[in-house]
Amino acid sequence: MNNTFNYTYSAAQQEEIKKIREKYSHEKTEDKMEQLRRLDKSVTRPGTIVSLIIGILSCLILGVGMCCTMVWGGEFFVLGIIVGVVGIVGIICAYPIYSAITKARREKLADEIIRLSDELMK
């Protein structure tokens, strides 16, 4: 009976196995720096999305107002001016809405971001 045990260790092979395993693992381990980056992005993302939607819709409304005054004219002229002004007001409001949402998110997440950054700087 020849019972022998052969073991070969390859660091590169172990790294490759870990990478493959991470792809299929359902539990993602997130280090503190990745968590800090994710939190930082989550501060501005909602404000950006809302302000873009408002800005784009307001530009479209302004375009409809311009069409009413320039293309159709006549009885639509006054209506076009009113619609255009509504579009301009929406465009003007897009940035203050972004600022308000971002400020609220910063206040909400500030403690956690400060805590994580203090841990990382030590």
SS (H, E, C) 44-111: HHHHHHHHHHHHHHHHHHHHHHHHHHHHHCHHHHHHHHHHHHHHHHHHHHHHHHHHHHHHHHHHHHHH
Task: Kindly state whether residue 9 falls inside one of the protein's structural domains.
Answer: no
Count of the separate structural domains present in the chain: 1
In tens, the pLDDT along 76-107 reads 999 999 999 999 999 999 999 999 999 999 99
Residue 66: name the closest of 79, 55, 80 by CA: 80
Q: CA-to-CA distance for 51 and 37, rounded, in angstroms?
A: 22
Task: Kindly state whether residue 21 falls inside one of the protein's structural domains.
Answer: no
pTM score, whole prediction: 0.69
Range of the structural domain that residue 61 is part of: 31-121
Residue 94: name the closest of 44, 50, 60, 63 by CA: 50
Task: Kindly state whether residue 1 falls inside one of the protein's structural domains.
Answer: no
Give me the pLDDT at residue 28, please.
Answer: 60
Task: Kindly state whether residue 110 falls inside one of the protein's structural domains.
Answer: yes
15 CB-contact burial (10 Å; exposed 0-12 / middle 13-18 / buried 19+): exposed
Mean pLDDT value across residues 57-70: 95
> pLDDT-based confidence at 72, cuts 50/70/90?
confident
Give me the pLDDT at residue 56, please.
Answer: 97
Task: Kindly state whether residue 25 falls inside one of the protein's structural domains.
Answer: no
Task: Kindly state whether residue 18 falls inside one of the protein's structural domains.
Answer: no
> pLDDT-based confidence at 74, cuts 50/70/90?
confident
